[in-house]
Amino acid sequence: MAIQKAGHWINIDSQAPNQIVKEAQANGTLVLPGIGQLPELQSEVVYHDSRLDFCGQTAQGETCWIEVKGVTLENEGIAAFPDAPTVRAVKHVNELIRAVKAGDQAVLLFVVQLDFVQTMTIYRERAPKLAAAIEDALAAGVQVVALDCEVTPATLKLRQPVTVDLTAPFHESAE
């Protein structure tokens, strides 16, 4: 599912980010900064009272937890998460912090479902608690990574890193 904006495609399928992360891991193209490749990855793994998107082992044998968030909101070349209010995302970020404190690796992975932004941020006005939780996560050692995608009407594929800037201002378009 994709829509067109300013001559670019934006994938709007909320199920797609997890699917393409799993596909990229399976074909060896998922390389996370600070983590590298993950030889194995299990989906929907229970961690305490949450279900995180993925758990795997790094090449060094460390446990790595990954929570994936799809990003479809964009304005003036900046992508932002979330596109709607969310409580669950804060819970997941706190679980990633808990995993790092327990000695594991953890990644909050934003899959930017478009190809025309250089920066990704958190929509602070919509989700101030999430922004604060992500700042805490960074301080605790959680990797916060954004990858954009190559998008066509029928395909979606992880492409390249996008800068995560939690201080970038974001406002929705009046369109």
Any domain includes 172: no
Any domain includes 169: no
- Strand, helix or coil for residue 80: strand
Domain region containing 115 = 2-164
- Tallying the residues shown for the chain, one arrives at 175
Q: What global pTM score does this model have?
A: 0.95
Residue 47 and residue 44: Cα distance in Å, rounded?
9
Which among 161, 165, 133, 136 has a CA at the least distance from the CA of 146? 161
CATH of residue 68: 3.40.1350.60
Which among 25, 5, 30, 24 has a CA at the least distance from the CA of 153? 5
Any domain includes 174: no
Report the domain count for the chain. 1
Any domain includes 145: yes
Query: Residues 19, 24, 25, CA angle at the centre, nearest 5°?
Result: 100
Query: What are the pLDDT digits (tens) for 40-86?
Result: 899 999 999 899 999 999 988 999 999 999 999 999 999 999 988 88
Asked if the model's pLDDT at residue 142 lies above 70, the reply is yes
